[in-house]
Amino acid sequence: MPEYRFRLVNVFTRERAALSGNPLCVFEDAEGLSDETMQALALQFNLSETTFLSASKRATAHARIFTPRYEMPFAGHPTLGTAHVVRALTGFDAVTLELPVGLVAVRAESDRWTLTAPAPTWRELGVPSAAVAAALGLAEQDVGSRPLWVNAGREQLIVPLTSVEAVRRAAPRVDAFENLQSQDGISMAYVFAPSGVGGIESRFFFPQGTAMLEDPATGSAAANLGGWFLATRAAPPLALQISQGDRTGRPSTLHLNVDVEGRIFVGGDVVEIGRGSVTLGT
């Protein structure tokens, strides 16, 4: 019976604490796995994402990203965690991953991995700010200026709040999130506020069935935050340290940089915590 090796890594760890950050399962070689089996394995592990590596003629490796429910074209923490595993397999500190969204370059300095995000696009909110506030369980005055849908690989709603206290107080409502849907029909919101010089505190919410879930660290949203700053004409270069995940028990640290050319970089520390294999019957 075929055996498939995997590694468990934590991405965007805080001070490299082994059990901080956002967990990821990476299958080292997905050759022979059908789409249906990859989706079923992602559900089996039931992490926010599971990735599957295979050979690529265009890049260091080809990777596919699955949540327990669907495949994603791009996500930040799976990209960095997968690159960490590719380095373990190849020895390369700079890798290019072929993702459904295109080729994504990733580089390492020690165990801090940084990706170059796709160039962002953005569009206006399309609903009143009051609707966003209601969906987040906040008062309208808690919502800052110009929430935007931003796409630097995956479209998400980026919502500035007026204080860190509002970020911490947010209590999203599943029913109201139906009014906040991306172009691909997925509801989510990333809220943030400055937490001091060079600091950001953030949270990322998305509904699943009748439950509201919170992501401990969202690299794609950090990239979209870089796009939000470009859209609102914040002058680059920018260098920000983002804190996320404290409310989930998985404290995480993400590093966002936007250079003078408007290129967006998202980085974080990756730690491998285990490995194993799955044996699948015919």
Q: Identify the residue whose tokens are 């055996």.
A: 3
Instruction: In whole angstroms, give the CA distance from residue 67 to residue 116.
Output: 22
Among 256, 253, 268, which Cα is nearest to 14's? Answer: 253
For residue 31, the number of C-alpha atoms closer than 13 Å in the C-beta half-sphere is: 5
Contacts of 206 (CB under 8 A, 6+ apart): 177, 186, 187, 188, 189, 212, 213, 215
Instruction: In whole angstroms, give the CA distance from residue 266 to residue 57.
Output: 25
Instruction: Say whether 49 is catalytic.
Output: yes
Instruction: In whole angstroms, give the CA distance from residue 25 to residue 82.
Output: 9
Q: Are 93 and 67 in contact (CB under 8 A)?
A: no
Q: Are 255 and 114 in contact (CB under 8 A)?
A: yes
Contacts of 34 (CB under 8 A, 6+ apart): none
Catalytically annotated residue among 49, 98, 155, 201? 49
Q: Are 203 and 190 in contact (CB under 8 A)?
A: yes
Catalytic residues: 49
